[in-house]
Amino acid sequence: MPSASPCALVIFGASGDLAKRKLIPAIYEMAREKLLPDSFVLVGYARSPLTDQQYRQECREAVQKFARTQPIDPEIWNRIEKNIGYVQGDYGSNDGHDRLCAYLDKADREKGTAGDRLYYLSTPPNTFEPIIRNLGEHHKKQPRDGKGWTRIIIEKPFGRDLASARSLNALLHEYFAEEQVFRIDHYLGKETVQNLMVMRFANSIFEPLWSYKYIDHVQITVSETLGVGTRGGYYAQSGALRDMVQNHMFQLMALVAMEPPAALDAVSIRDEKVKVFKSIRPMRADHADQFAIRGQYGPGQAGDVKTGGYLKEKDVPPDSKTETFAALRLFIDNWRWSGMPFYLRTGKFLTEKLSEIVVRFRSPPLALFQKQCDAPVYPNDLIIRVQPDEGMSWRLNAKVPGGQMTVKSVALDFFYKTAFNIEPPEAYERLIYDAMLGDQTLFIRGDEAEAAWSVIDPIEQGWIASQRTPEPYAPGSWGPKRAMDLIEMDGRRWFQGNNGDAEPIVACSL
Ligand SMILES: NC(=O)c1ccc[n+]([C@@H]2O[C@H](COP(=O)([O-])OP(=O)(O)OC[C@H]3O[C@@H](n4cnc5c(N)ncnc54)[C@H](OP(=O)(O)O)[C@@H]3O)[C@@H](O)[C@H]2O)c1
């Protein structure tokens, strides 16, 4: 891949967790892969009082600790390090932005960054507005007459409901064109997620089967084995539905459900995803508690980790009704998916850490072998593992060798690591590189974010209206009992692991 053209990257919130764990290590990996331009400057911006030297030291430690490839190559790092600077300031401070502009102008003159600027908002959402206004006003004051580009990457969450997402979009568009805005959902930078489109549209075997006619249902699970940790304050305002479903899980669902795009460009792909969100059947407020299940982890232990329960976590109000688990049954009302359910579940402190999509196919029209076998014959599954063990599995039925006719479910596995013998890059490497190239394909468009919030809002409103509290669940479990009921009432079960054996379920053929 070609290296990006000369530019400066400014990270707002440079002192934060994301910057240290993901962004700075991604810059190092990009340099190692020769994707960074020769003329490249990295500027950290935050309120913490740091000198250039102290900030460089923090970045070095972050790379030594978190870079994907270890040990780090000191020669590569030294080349990056001498072009790292730090500007201290409040996010709404005019003065701070003046100093930042002066720093960037100097970099253009002395380091050849050509006026091309990528701003990364890696700060809590309450700082987005002052940063965007300040950037916009400085941009207006100093129009660079077509010299150099300006792009803005915005971290999630993009709004907390439809109204706030709309006003954030309006604010951005007051100063910047949509082509300059890169709303991040790091799931889209994952290899396995990008592979979803390759799998569907570069293979002819899927398309004829890919509809309600041959698929019984789709399950998407994104589970974590830890609690809210130090993010209790943020999480209490958010919850599983806003934090995981509106973005990561909806993106996975859209890539499974979308129609083939007219081309592989940002407009065509994002048009198709928007259509999926617009086709999701709105949840009736009085159905929210029945088809959108909430849970909250109680006290207990998962693995080695003990917890006093969500309500005892730091910065969580003791009467918080915020859900740490959500499970949904959704329908996409279009020709392809009519009447076929998508089940989504996500939560903290669950049994296993994984992100996976399970496409369960319908049973054959005639249970021919069932008559001869004692055990039931299971339907086929396509399991797409986003993490861990990135790859795919097909579960098919095969005859067990021997005189008897015994049918057993077997797995055909594809693992990224062994198939290509390479470690897939981190999502942030790909996404920062794409933003430098101006490619928006793997970023969320403004109307896409709004369409996704339009699905979430009625559920949140239904939950508020019901006044019910989230159902407690034990840490280390698969969530509350009502989440099991949600799918079992349809004669189906949550997929429990891919150990090659089909779980004892009764196939549900409509
Ligand atoms: N961490 C992750 O794994 C992760 C994953 C996905 C998305 N995100 C998103 O990425 C963004 C950054 O995440 P993060 O975990 O790095 O956040 P963070 O560590 O809480 O905050 C980043 C920096 O912002 C400043 N800051 C924190 N609270 C602030 C406040 N109330 N007002 C003004 N400034 C404040 C702090 O820098 P100074 O005090 O020095 O200014 C802090 O170092 C957030 O929007 C988050 O939702 C994070």
Pairing of strands 84-88, 40-46: parallel
* pLDDT the model gives residue 141: 66
* pLDDT the model gives residue 508: 31
SS3 2: coil
Q: Name the one residue in this structure whose structure tokens are 């701070």.
A: 96
For residue 205, pLDDT over 60 is answered with yes
What's the mean pLDDT in 158-165? 97
Probe residue for ligand 1, chosen from 54, 122, 129, 222 as the CB with the greatest number of ligand atoms within 8 Å: 122
Separation of CA 385 and ligand 1 centre (Å): 29
Within 10 Å of residue 98's Cβ, how many Cβ atoms? 15
Residue 184 CA, chain-centre distance (Å), reads 8
Cβ–ligand 1 contact at 47 (below 6 Å): yes
Q: Which atom of ligand 1 is nearest to the CA of 47?
A: 41
Tokens of 403: 């005189």
Separation of CA 10 and ligand 1 centre (Å): 15
Cα-based distances in Å from 211 to 207, 259, 260, 273, 302: 8, 11, 13, 16, 38
Q: Which atom of ligand 1 is nearest to the CA of 121?
A: 11
* pLDDT the model gives residue 502: 43
CA atoms in the 13 A half-sphere facing the CB of 8: 30
Q: Which atom of ligand 1 is nearest to the CA of 19?
A: 16
Measured between alpha carbons, how far is 275 from 233 in angstroms, rounded to an integer? 34
Cβ–ligand 1 contact at 48 (below 6 Å): yes
Probe residue for ligand 1, chosen from 12, 18, 23, 183 as the CB with the greatest number of ligand atoms within 8 Å: 18
Cβ–ligand 1 contact at 156 (below 6 Å): yes
CA atoms in the 13 A half-sphere facing the CB of 186: 16
Cβ–ligand 1 contact at 155 (below 6 Å): yes
Separation of CA 195 and ligand 1 centre (Å): 30
Segment 12-52, tens digit of pLDDT: 999 999 999 999 999 999 999 999 999 999 999 999 999 99
Residue nearest to atom 44 of ligand 1 (CA): 124
Which phi-psi region, left, alpha or beta, contains residue 47 (left: φ > 0; alpha: ψ -120 to 50)? alpha
Segment 327-340, tens digit of pLDDT: 999 999 999 999 99
Segment 352-405, tens digit of pLDDT: 999 999 999 998 888 777 776 666 778 899 999 999 989 999 999 888 888 877
Q: Name the one residue in this structure whose structure tokens are 């897939």.
A: 424
* pLDDT the model gives residue 155: 97
Helix axis angle for 24-32 and 74-81, nearest 10°, is 120
For residue 501, pLDDT over 80 is answered with no
Confidence category of residue 82, pLDDT binned at 50, 70, 90 = very high
Residue 117 phi, psi dihedral angles, 5° rounding: -130, 130
For residue 172, pLDDT over 80 is answered with yes
Cβ 359 vs Cβ 367: under 8 Å: no
SS3 224: coil
Percent above pLDDT 70 for the chain: 95
* pLDDT the model gives residue 189: 94
Q: In 20-157, where do the E strands start and end?
A: 40-46, 84-88, 117-121, 150-154
Query: Which one-letter amino acid corresponds to residue 244?
Result: M
* pLDDT the model gives residue 467: 84
Cβ–ligand 1 contact at 46 (below 6 Å): yes
Cβ 281 vs Cβ 304: under 8 Å: no
* pLDDT the model gives residue 365: 84
Q: Round the average pLDDT of the chain to a whole number and report it.
A: 92
- Which of the residue ranges 311-315, 400-404, 479-483 would you say has the lowest mean pLDDT? 400-404
Measured between alpha carbons, how far is 381 from 153 in angstroms, rounded to an integer? 37
pTM score of the predicted model: 0.94
Cis peptide before 388, with omega less than 30 degrees from 0?
Answer: yes
Query: Which one-letter amino acid corresponds to residue 171?
Result: L
Separation of CA 437 and ligand 1 centre (Å): 25
For residue 246, pLDDT over 50 is answered with yes
- Which of the residue ranges 85-89, 154-158, 378-382, 454-458 would you say has the lowest mean pLDDT? 378-382
Separation of CA 313 and ligand 1 centre (Å): 19
Cβ 127 vs Cβ 157: under 8 Å: no
Which stretches within 93-184 are classed as H helix?
Answer: 94-111, 128-141, 162-175
| Structural domains in the chain plus CATH codes | 7-155 (3.40.50.720), 188-488 (3.30.360.10)
Segment 49-70, tens digit of pLDDT: 999 999 999 999 999 999 999 9
Cβ 294 vs Cβ 214: under 8 Å: no
Percent above pLDDT 90 for the chain: 82
Cβ–ligand 1 contact at 123 (below 6 Å): yes
Best CA proximity match to 5, nearest among 438, 427, 429: 438
For residue 506, pLDDT over 50 is answered with no
The C-alpha R_g of the chain, in whole angstroms, comes to 24
Residue nearest to atom 42 of ligand 1 (CA): 16
**Residues with active-site annotation:** 248
Residue nearest to atom 31 of ligand 1 (CA): 124
What's the mean pLDDT in 98-118? 94
Tokens of 135: 């950037």
Separation of CA 220 and ligand 1 centre (Å): 28
Cα-based distances in Å from 445 to 34, 440, 462, 476: 29, 8, 27, 36
Cβ–ligand 1 contact at 127 (below 6 Å): yes
For residue 145, pLDDT over 70 is answered with no
Q: Which atom of ligand 1 is nearest to the CA of 18?
A: 16
Separation of CA 413 and ligand 1 centre (Å): 38
